[in-house]
């Protein structure tokens, strides 16, 4: 359900072809809401059918065409309406915490592997998001630059402020995950005997 609003958010900045959209997606909203190309193209068609966006076909070379999408008034309304609607929170469904709850059923080695992987996973996400943060500060992100170009002076600070707010939140959450997993590693150590098996 959120995918279409992520797409609308990008298209509201200016028209884009499906391909461009998909590329930009990966390096902006994609950090927050991942979607593969194979989901984006069909969703664009559906949104077109529902009148939220419209395509302009542009010739590309002799035979090929590309479809450049723009947001319709209906699409704009749908987006702003969504922004005013309470979010539907999904129930918790978290594989890492599910596994954590049963770590005593496996070996200390497997428990450590899991926790190390958790640290690595979130550290790599932190790296991506911090990278985004520095690019936000430098206004290097292509999508953000386009956005700021069409944005009135007074709005720029807000746009940047909420981007920073968003990514800082993600980074902090990820740091929490890392800290949690490290505490888990300490716990495994504390529960392990000198022979490497669980202490008795």
Tokens of 151: 């944005």
**Contact (CB, 8 A) for 198 and 108:** yes
Member of 49, 62, 154, 195 binding DNA (CB under 7 A): 62
Footprint (CB under 7 A) of DNA, residues 100-159: none
In three-state secondary structure terms, 110 is helix
| Rounded-to-integer distance, Cα 71 and Cα 13, Å | 9
| Rounded-to-integer distance, Cα 192 and Cα 194, Å | 7
**Residue 173 in the binding site for DNA (CB under 7 A):** no
**Residue 25 in the binding site for a second copy (CB under 8 A):** no
**Contact (CB, 8 A) for 6 and 35:** yes
Nearer Cβ to DNA (17/141): 17
Distance of closest approach, residue 199 Cβ to DNA, in angstroms:
35
Orientation of helix 2-13 relative to helix 73-84, angle to 10°: 120
**Contact (CB, 8 A) for 20 and 63:** no
**Contact (CB, 8 A) for 127 and 133:** no
- Of 129, 175, 99, 159, nearest to 32 by C-alpha is 129
Question: x-or-dash pattern for a second copy, window 127-166, by CB under 8 A?
Answer: ---------------------------xx-xxx-xxx-xx
Nearer Cβ to a second copy (29/44): 29
Member of 27, 33, 66, 67 binding a second copy (CB under 8 A): 33
Member of 63, 64, 83, 194 binding a second copy (CB under 8 A): 83
Using alpha carbons, list the distances in angstroms from residue 139 to 15, 27, 154, 167, 170.
Answer: 20, 13, 16, 14, 19
Member of 5, 41, 82, 180 binding DNA (CB under 7 A): 41
**Residue 20 in the binding site for DNA (CB under 7 A):** yes
Site residues (CB under 7 A) for DNA? Answer: 1-3, 17-20, 22-23, 34-39, 41-42, 44-45, 60-64, 66-67, 88, 90-91, 93
Site residues (CB under 8 A) for a second copy? Answer: 2, 5-6, 9, 12, 29, 31-35, 79-80, 83-84, 86-107, 110, 113-114, 117-118, 121, 125, 154-155, 157-159, 161-163, 165-166, 168-170, 172-173, 176-177, 180, 183-184, 187, 191, 198-200
């Amino acid at each position: 359900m959120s995918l279409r609003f992520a797409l609308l958010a990008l298209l509201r900045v200016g028209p884009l072809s499906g391909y461009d959209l998909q590329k930009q997606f990966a390096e902006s909203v994609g950090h927050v809401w991942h979607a593969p190309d194979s989901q984006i193209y069909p969703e664009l068609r559906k949104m077109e059918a529902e009148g939220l966006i419209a395509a302009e076909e542009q010739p590309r070379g002799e035979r090929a065409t590309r479809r450049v999408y723009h947001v319709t008034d209906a699409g704009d309304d749908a987006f702003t309406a969504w922004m005013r609607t309470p979010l539907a929170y999904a129930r918790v469904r978290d594989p890492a915490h599910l596994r954590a709850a049963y770590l005593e059923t496996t070996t200390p080695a497997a428990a450590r592997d899991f926790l190390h992987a958790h640290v690595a996973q979130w550290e790599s996400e932190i790296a991506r998001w911090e990278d985004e943060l520095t690019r936000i500060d430098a206004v290097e992100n292509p999508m953000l630059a386009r956005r700021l170009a069409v944005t009135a002076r007074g709005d720029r600070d807000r746009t940047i402020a909420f981007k920073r707010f968003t990514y800082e939140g993600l980074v902090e959450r990820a740091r929490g995950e890392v800290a949690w997993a490290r505490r888990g590693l300490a716990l495994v150590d504390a529960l392990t005997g000198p022979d490497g098996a669980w202490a008795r």
